């Protein structure tokens, strides 16, 4: 992200099954010229509009 100003944020959301049943989603976002750590603090495994980025990907069996 530091070398590509076109990327605003990036997150890696682990499946609870892959992380001993716990949620873990490190998130980095751009704040002006800085990149700051801003981990997700909500349950992204619950279906809602806010969590579609996670659940839709799993349902479609996306490799991304």
44, 23 Cβ separation under 8 angstroms: yes
| pLDDT tens digits along 7-64 | 999 999 988 888 888 899 999 999 998 999 999 999 999 999 999 989 998 888 876 6
Say how far apart CA 20 and CA 58 lie, in whole Å.
Answer: 18
The pairing of beta strand 34-37 with beta strand 9-11: unpaired
Q: Which residues pair with 31 in a beta bridge?
A: 34
């Amino acid at each position: 992200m530091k070398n590509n100003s076109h990327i605003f944020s990036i997150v890696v959301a682990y499946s609870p099954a892959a992380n001993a049943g716990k949620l873990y989603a490190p998130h980095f976002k751009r704040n002006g010229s800085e990149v700051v750590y801003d981990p997700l603090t909500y349950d992204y495994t619950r279906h809602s509009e806010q969590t579609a980025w996670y659940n839709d990907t799993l349902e479609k069996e996306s490799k991304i």
